[in-house]
Copies of this chain bind each other. A is one copy, B any other.
Amino acid sequence: MLATRTLNSVRTLAQPLIAAGISQELLQRSVAFARRRISAGQALYRAGQVLRAVYFVNAGCIKSVLASSDGRERVTGFHLRGELLALESIGAGTHEGDALALEDSEVWEIAMCDLMSAAARQPELQAAMTLQLSAQVRAERQWLLSVGTLGAEQRVATLLLDLGRRLHALGFSATHFVLRMTRAEIGSFLNLQLETVTRAISHLRERGLLDVTRREIRILDAQALSELASSGATAH
């Protein structure tokens, strides 16, 4: 089955390691790590905690959340297998945000001190980290552009297509999957209210682009969806 590739230059919203140059294999032979299971709803780490490790998501789905001192808060990403968490907190000493498991998940915990010494020994690992981070900056910028430019429906469509694409890259169906997050979490990520997310999804369903039952999504017309997602900037 061929990937339902979008035609336009939509970049992926998160940055899987493989694309960025840190192969899982390079990690495995370069540094020691410990497997760790987190059950749904549990925190992998919290904002402000001392940065002791970075985490490779091996299974499940993790959301990262950034909160400001005065209570404002936003989901900054949904992370699937193959993504690296907390790397951006290197240099800060503490975690910048929370990471919560949306379902039972497994991560590989890579102790900071091991990572640092391995990176010092192995220049290609250090270089891979640089690549990984620069790709993350690019993804973040692209996302900022999308959120700022697209209307509510377009943002939702973009997210659904992106999730499908990422799941497909992991061997799952790109068009039929189950959301691991609530409407509120989607809204927080897309900078929309949960009602608006619901309405956008409903509208996409009415137009025959999707089939939806609670969290279960079936993309019926990926082509049309991706055209919608990148169509004229209705701004907001």
Instruction: Determine the distance from Cα of A166 to Cα of B9 in the docked complex, in whole angstroms.
Output: 35
Binding site for B on A (CB under 8 A): 8-9, 20-21, 66, 68-74, 76, 87-92, 96-97, 119-120, 123, 126-127, 129-131, 133-138, 140-150, 191, 230-233
Select which of B20, B123, B140 is within 8 A of A144 by beta carbon.
B140
Q: Is the CB of B140 within 8 A of A141?
A: yes
Q: Is the CB of A148 within 8 A of B89?
A: no
- Closest B residue, CB atoms, query A120: B123
Select which of B69, B96, B149, B232 is within 8 A of A138 by beta carbon.
B96
Chain B residues with CB under 8 A of A147? 144, 148
Query: Nearest-CB distance from A93 to chain B (Å)?
Result: 11
- Closest B residue, CB atoms, query A129: B130
Chain B residues with CB under 8 A of A140? 137, 140-141, 144
Subset of 14 A-B contacts with CB under 8 Å: A9-B68, A66-B144, A66-B145, A68-B145, A73-B145, A76-B141, A89-B138, A90-B134, A91-B130, A119-B127, A123-B123, A133-B134, A136-B137, A147-B148
